[in-house]
Amino acid sequence: MSAHRNVLAFVMAGGEGSRLHPLTAERCKPAVPFNGKHRIVDFVLSNLVNSEIYSTYLLVQYKSQSLIEHVRQTWTMARFMPQHFITCVPPQMRNGPEWFQGTADAVYQNIHLIESMKPDIVAVFGADHIYRMDIRQMIDFHIQSGAAASVATLPVRLSQSGQFGIVEIDDNNRITDFMEKPKKCKPMPGSHTHALGSMGNYIFNADVLLEQLRKMHENGTSDFGKHILPSMVKSHKLVAYDFDTNHIPGTEPYEEHAYWRDVGTIDAYFEAHFDTLGAAPKFRMTNSRWPIYASPDQAESAQIENGVINRSVVGSGSIVDGASLDHAMLRRSVHVDRGARLEHCIVMERSRIGRGAQVQRAIIDQDNDVPPGERIGFDLDQDRRRFHVTESGIVVVPAGYFRAGARHVSQARSIVRAGKGRLEVVA
């Protein structure tokens, strides 16, 4: 069984997350908050731990301090179990003064970790998706297939193929072609509308991975999707693991089977939050048989003085005093004053929504004091002069915007007027 195999995991947590600006102005994408008390990285780490894979290196790079602090506080393993660890690893620059040049180069720069651990299998997983997955089932499939490498896959629309690695397979799930983000591709077997997309989650036999990393370094290449996997199709047995076959205990019948979301854009990130709301959500955050672990919570319980609340999450330490919440997601220590109204909103830590303020279809990043009577999300032309607004009309207020003072506000406005679309506001 895979649980008894020696498995080492690398989590690719170095993503800059430029499409998530301004939420990634001061943090990397895996560290971006999600739902009431989680961060995006918690999903892959929970999947690994629940799958009894306890040796994990997070390869970090851009704006990684908040991620490193989160891992230190949340994902501490016992000192007396040396093979049980979750450790952040920045670029080691062993081969020169260079940051990670690609996903495979990130692993190559830490090849000594594989050589010293001597695992049988190496799992290479992404850090920026919302999903549950029993990785043991994928490893079992990998072993039974006699493959050198396995790629987790799921159907994606042909119109979206340019956002994914696309695989073609034969009748035995063997990969016959791997194309990274092709403009055009063939539909998958049995479909006219979908192709088979890579989830960016890979299982390798350790000896094969070491061989391929060394060869990659000699050739000057750097990426799994662009270089290593397409090359291996010709020389090794690669198989596609069907994510739809993955079974998670405790999943309710009303949940979307094989739920998986790439939350790399503001719109996708925003919509995924509301997939978790309601009595019968598409993705239920609470599953005692496959929990998604969160950081320790020392805050007091939330307080509801009075108001009207419909299908919302109120985080610990928050106070709702005579306000109206409709599809609102409040993280920790958020104060919503009397007469305020939040509709389809995400409000992050230590923010305050002033008396009578109205906010709709917006993300309020942490440490903001939205002034009394403020209106956000109603006049998008006006909002664009101050904030980042997506094409679908979601307004993003950067961390600390309403506390930053005139200097930062002026900087934010000048950036928006320059058309750069990024609010580099320091929280």
Is residue 270 included in any domain, yes or no?
A: no
28 with 136, same domain?
yes
Report pLDDT for 151.
98
Vertex 258 angle, CA 257 and 261, to 5°:
120
- Say whether the peptide bond before residue 30 is cis (omega within 30 degrees of 0): no
Give the residue from 253, 286, 320 where a domain finishes: 253
Report pLDDT for 90.
83
Q: Which residues contact 321 (CB under 8 A, 6 or more apart)?
A: 305, 306, 307, 335, 336, 337, 338
80 with 191, same domain?
yes
Is residue 280 included in any domain, yes or no?
A: no
Is residue 59 included in any domain, yes or no?
A: yes
332 with 408, same domain?
yes
Instruction: Kindly report, residue by residue over 406-417, the tens digit of the pLDDT.
Output: 334 434 443 333
The two beta strands, 38-39 and 33-34, are: antiparallel
Task: Identify the residue with better confidence: 14 or 344.
Answer: 344
Is residue 63 included in any domain, yes or no?
A: yes
Tell me if residue 89 falls in helix, strand or coil: strand
Is residue 70 included in any domain, yes or no?
A: yes
pTM for the complete prediction? 0.91
Percent of the chain with pLDDT over 90: 77
Q: Where residue 371 sits, what CATH number does that domain have?
A: 2.160.10.10
Instruction: Kindly report, residue by residue over 259-314, the tens digit of the pLDDT.
Output: 999 999 999 999 999 999 999 999 999 999 999 998 888 778 999 999 999 999 99
124 with 35, same domain?
yes
**pLDDT tier at 419 (50, 70, 90 boundaries)?**
very low
- Quote the number of domains for the chain: 2
Comparing 69-83, 273-287, 375-389, the range with the smallest average pLDDT is 69-83
Is residue 171 included in any domain, yes or no?
A: yes
CA distance 255 to 257: 6
CA distance 73 to 65: 12
Average pLDDT in the 105-127 region? 94
Is residue 289 included in any domain, yes or no?
A: no
Is residue 238 included in any domain, yes or no?
A: yes
**pLDDT tier at 92 (50, 70, 90 boundaries)?**
low
Q: Where residue 36 sits, what CATH number does that domain have?
A: 3.90.550.10
335 with 400, same domain?
yes
Q: Domain limits at 372?
A: 303-417
Average of per-residue pLDDT values in the chain: 89
Residue located via tokens 């990426």:
223
CA distance 74 to 351: 23
65 with 173, same domain?
yes
Q: How many CA atoms lie within 13 A of 415 on its CB side?
A: 19
Residue 157 clears pLDDT 80, i.e. is over it: yes
Residue located via tokens 């069984």:
1
Q: Residues 422, 415: contact at Cβ < 8 Å? A: yes
Binding-site annotation, residues for alpha-D-glucose 1-phosphate: 165, 180-181, 198
Q: What are phi and psi of 364, to 5 degrees?
A: -100, 105
CA distance 124 to 57: 10
Report pLDDT for 223.
85
Binding-site annotation, residues: 165, 180-181, 198
Average pLDDT in the 68-81 region? 79
